[in-house]
Structure 1
């Protein structure tokens, strides 16, 4: 799982471990993750690396392979970015979030695919926030795999399906993309409640889920 140092990503790690899952967690090292690694030494693998760099994504995949041999599910928590510099100027934060998550998602899909193929019912889950669902540069231009994370993910759906890998995209409502048939109102999600609902829904393997949050910083804290 990516983006696990705080917010929703950290809550997902905590709940998966409580359920008895083994978790490989990538994100900026934090005290809470270190505490979890002491509490679950056999079940939690901490991955230290910036997954937007292809070599570091490959190294993360190698470590997972060495420990467990395969992946049942890869969760890409692309809500913000753990590796933006603390002093990043405000106007550059959102561009950095989108561009880093585009790169990280592309490299994670490439690196993890052999690990996912080693299981009977593999699944890729990508969670987007309003930040990462933004389109790079001029939003009036057509969305492509190079400027839109949603477009990149949807472009991979058929290829993943051909390898029997299910893809679930969890994202804010996109008026240009038919995700659901009924209106979805923003809710007062906390990291804990959002993680609980997401994990309860994943066994159904939906193609799309809508996550609308009133206070994004509760789920995906921005760099300070």
Structure 2
């Protein structure tokens, strides 16, 4: 991307989200980052100064999420891109166990994704060629409840996001969904690192494809699980 733009990256404390923040900043863009407290984000803030805007990390908490839209407008007046890292563990409750881990990854990212879309909408509508990219992994793409039921916005986070495509397009906002392929599709997983996956996804932003596939071998490189459940 040759033009300087403004982005908000969620789930940015580590892994893929952090790598996307770092690379966008290195390319000269303005970046807002939300996620858990992170020494790596602190270091990026010292290196890039005002180009990095730290936002409240817990999008699942209404009081924090409600303030974000105004922060973006006060700082930049608009937002060109929202990158939702919807495979992150940033929003997991502290009492998450191995037994409920995957369900909580889906549920917490459902809440965070909905909050991010709502918070960013007015700023995106003021942006230049605004776009949203939502990135899923095998965990967050799982269907909740009875897997024999058809996917819907209630039981499937990717389906819920896809249902927002037309409402976003009606507002002039493009949507790219990045997700693992369906089980019926043969796509060998690749040994992505956070940095290599971030580089490819950032390059794909300009293409604005509606759908992209990402299958990772060793997902902990991109979406680290909490240490106590690894």
- Superposition TM-score tier, normalisation by shorter sequence: over 0.9
Q: 1:206 aligns with which of 193, 209, 214?
A: 209
Q: TM-score, normalised by structure 2?
A: 0.91
Q: 2:195 aligns with which of 192, 195, 200?
A: 192
* Distance in 2 (alpha carbons) for counterparts of 1:199 and 1:49: 22
Q: 2:175 aligns with which of 147, 159, 167?
A: 167
Partner SS state of residue 99, structure 1: helix
- Give the gaps of 5 or more residues in structure 2: 1-8
Query: What whole-Å deviation, never above 9, does each CA across 1:66-105 have from its counterpart, x for those lacking one?
Result: 1111100000001132132454211111111101111111
Q: TM-score, normalised by structure 1?
A: 0.93
Query: What whole-Å deviation, never above 9, does each CA across 1:6-33 have from its counterpart, x for those lacking one?
Result: 1000000000000001000000011110
| Alignment root-mean-square deviation, CA | 1.4
Greater displacement, 84-93 / 155-164: 84-93
Q: Tell me if the contact between 2:130 and 2:172 (Cα under 8 Å) persists in the aligned partners.
A: yes
1:175 CA displacement: 4.2
Partner SS state of residue 205, structure 2: helix
1:208 CA displacement: 0.6
Q: Tell me if the contact between 1:170 and 1:210 (Cα under 8 Å) persists in the aligned partners.
A: yes
* Distance in 1 (alpha carbons) for counterparts of 2:77 and 2:92: 31
* Distance in 2 (alpha carbons) for counterparts of 1:81 and 1:51: 12
1:63 matched to which residue of 2?
Answer: 71
* Distance in 2 (alpha carbons) for counterparts of 1:208 and 1:78: 15
Q: 2:155 aligns with which of 125, 140, 147?
A: 147
Greater displacement, 29-38 / 59-68: 59-68
1:53 CA displacement: 2.7
1:50 matched to which residue of 2?
Answer: 58
2:4 matched to which residue of 1?
Answer: none
What are the within-5 Å matches in structure 2 for residues 10-89 of structure 1? 10-89=18-97
